[in-house]
Structure 1
């Protein structure tokens, strides 16, 4: 019994299902086990190639040739997913790989790090019946040379699409996503678009926008299931205000999770900050989880960090049903930051989180001032505070700074 190979006696379909959960290299290695296993890897249903970062052109050619060989040896009728992350390969190879995935009716196609796909050649397939696009449920493309018309043609054929991510699609100017009733997750990252229209996406749950232009318009309508909103602000806080306040009230009232990332800039006049602070945001009555991430572009930005934050503090106050507030601080060495709350005349506000998490704490004066301000203004509801320090030294400072605060826990990144 101890020497019996009981795994090899399993049905072929079950063995293929098992090795489909391995990496490509591991699945291929099983071919040396015995004649029973020799060709099983030619039928795997998940082709998830490892991330590949070539050092020289010869490496690109070698890896691309290996990928092409694996695909040409594949004998299965269908695959579940195809994932590839590399750079430097030729356009015709990418198109061949994409067409392979489509011909195998893949439900998931992720092409990351792959640039310059010739969509004009690829979309010729859309003119044929049973082209494979109708099976796609999850599509991720990085750096696609895609026009507005290309995107429209793609979406019109991906009738089963549930998740779409487009990153660095810099040719897009006006994105229109209308009537895609099965789309649940939409991620538009690092685009230079002038306008985005999302309408009648009745299954859309999460929306991620990272826009590069300072001026653009976002129109949302008839998205009854939209509850998660992720925004990365490469534009002024004022435009973020316009985006959120310009939403239909019915969409604002649906939101339960919001993540907002803002860059801390040094161009922030005091009077402008004061005007923004005095202005109340519209209410977000059902937001339970709010996360604000600040990214500093310079070390000596303590005053500007506080300035940027206080332009958003009214947004925190507008979320009157918060369970959790997460603040991810910019990394500011204490020696480069001498700013404290005394720099500003900041009135009290009514904050409602039950749980407050301060992440990337360094002990800089501005970070200490901000944390104490939040704890003080949320004391009526606050039940727990968590401080995540950026290193061991900052952890020691955090323990000293907040030793008088009840229900506080500490950890290090």
Structure 2
């Protein structure tokens, strides 16, 4: 297949060279050209105007507006920040306000000049293009109603996807939910980051955006109680929900949602909030770093754990569990991703116990994280058993300690139908340490792996 692809590439290159420098791309129809540049960011799309008169002004008709920065812009902002940090000090308030105003001005002018007809497919607002350090007690330096005006434009264009991200350390944009009071039948995805959406605003959004399938809320200081109830006709088509860095959350209830599939919960209060998940027949994917949520979901007798197909955990859960905290049997779980912190010599033992609770596991990815008390652990002897479903395994963040080798050997011995094993050495180690770790991994696993297994060391 690779040889065929290379041959085709050579043929295409020859055809281009035989055109004597004729610009074949500019001969494409307007619809095709617009489809191409609509996949670029706004800054990149505007730059196409200098290619030729054929391209001039086409960017005003694109069907997707993405205001995220280019790599060059990000680098320029970073260099400017570093320069001011060393030459001016830490007081960059005036510079930051001016940059924010310039960014909003660019967005306003672009929206005013857009001639893409009555419909836009997607709008992504990213403001500002660097992380400002405004203090908590200082106000948002932009005129009130700015965000609402942008959303009004988006809704008037019947967009299906909106991303509104305010990338600041402390600042949150004050937000009125006047945009959410009318029925909207076109929006399918909305992502709000750094917007102070409160409980009433969320209720109106869920009630009136009847086609909504994907909702993401990050870094809202006013969100407290989340109720998504199917029997109240709330967001009947909602499939995916992300709630992250909302530190005032007290209650999350998702119930009687027939289309709900996945939930992501990150950086929520360590204690003091309650999660209720009931009657979610299609719920199959959970991604969280919240210890309280993990314990509730993985505890024996939890109906939700029995229907999960994909699970991603990022916390210290395996140092919390012990033999007196039985794990639920997750008979449908096929794909697991773990960020695994090693704190005691029992950590690997608990991880093994977790794997035993997933008899149908097909794909396992484990990233080793922090280690306390040295690099070497005494992995307890465990009963191996077998798993004829596990086919793909990736272990990353390895340092080459004996316990990692024993755990990897346990997996290889357990996975009787293994197709691929990827071992990735911790990139933070020195070159010499990485070399020794690679040699140890190769020495440990090469002799015990069947020839049919694709063995990769990174």
Question: Residues 57-85 of structure 1: CA distance to partner in whole angstroms, max 9, x if unpaired?
Answer: 23333333222211211122221111122
Give the whole-Å Cα distance in 1 for the aligned partners of 2:62 and 2:419. Answer: 50
The answer to whether 1:396 aligns with 2:453 is no
Give the whole-Å Cα distance in 2 for the aligned partners of 1:308 and 1:325. Answer: 17
Give the whole-Å Cα distance in 1 for the aligned partners of 2:101 and 2:219. Answer: 25
Question: What's the offset of the Cα at 1:5?
Answer: 6.5
- TM normalised by structure 1 equals 0.81
Specify the alignment match of 1:299 in structure 2: none
Q: Is the 8 A contact 1:331 1:361 kept in 2?
A: no
Give the whole-Å Cα distance in 2 for the aligned partners of 1:153 and 1:293. Answer: 36
Pick from 193, 196, 209 the counterpart of residue 142 of structure 1.
Answer: 193
Give the whole-Å Cα distance in 2 for the aligned partners of 1:220 and 1:263. Answer: 22
The answer to whether 1:229 aligns with 2:286 is yes
Pick from 247, 252, 256 the counterpart of residue 200 of structure 1.
Answer: 256
Gaps spanning 5+ residues in structure 2: where?
A: 1-18, 82-94, 133-140, 428-433
Give the whole-Å Cα distance in 2 for the aligned partners of 1:366 and 1:191. Answer: 37
Give the whole-Å Cα distance in 2 for the aligned partners of 1:379 and 1:136. Answer: 44
Question: What's the offset of the Cα at 1:151?
Answer: 0.9
Q: 1:6 to 1:243 in 2, by over 3 A?
A: closer
Where do residues 160-175 of structure 1 align in structure 2 (5 Å cutoff)? 160-175=211-226
Q: Please, what is the CA RMSD of the aligned residues? A: 3.1
Specify the alignment match of 2:142 in structure 1: 90
Give the whole-Å Cα distance in 2 for the aligned partners of 1:286 and 1:216. Answer: 28
Question: What's the offset of the Cα at 1:400?
Answer: 3.1
Secondary structure of the residue that 2:307 maps to in structure 1? coil
Question: Residues 110-149 of structure 1: CA distance to partner in whole angstroms, max 9, x if unpaired?
Answer: 12234523322xx22334x56xx43211111112212212
The answer to whether 1:359 aligns with 2:396 is yes
Where do residues 6-405 of structure 1 align in structure 2 (5 Å cutoff)? 11-51=29-69, 54=77, 55=81, 56-57=95-96, 58-76=98-116, 77-87=118-128, 90=142, 92=144, 93-114=146-167, 116-120=172-176, 123-127=177-181, 129=182, 133-179=184-230, 180-192=235-247, 193-210=249-266, 211-233=268-290, 235=291, 240-245=294-299, 249=303, 251-263=304-316, 276-295=322-341, 304=343, 306-330=345-369, 332=371, 337-341=374-378, 347-348=382-383, 350=385, 352=387, 353-376=390-413, 378=414, 384-391=420-427, 392-393=434-435, 394-405=437-448
Question: What's the offset of the Cα at 1:349?
Answer: 5.4
Q: Is the 8 A contact 1:20 1:46 kept in 2?
A: yes
- TM normalised by structure 2 equals 0.74
Give the whole-Å Cα distance in 2 for the aligned partners of 1:243 and 1:294. Answer: 18
Q: Is the 8 A contact 2:166 2:195 kept in 1?
A: no
Question: What's the offset of the Cα at 1:309?
Answer: 4.3
Q: 1:384 to 1:106 in 2, by over 3 A?
A: closer
Question: Residues 361-385 of structure 1: CA distance to partner in whole angstroms, max 9, x if unpaired?
Answer: 1113443343344445x26665653
Question: What's the offset of the Cα at 1:17?
Answer: 2.7
How many pairs are equivalent?
Answer: 384
Gaps spanning 5+ residues in structure 1: where?
A: 296-301
Question: What's the offset of the Cα at 1:97?
Answer: 2.5
Give the whole-Å Cα distance in 2 for the aligned partners of 1:152 and 1:201. Answer: 15
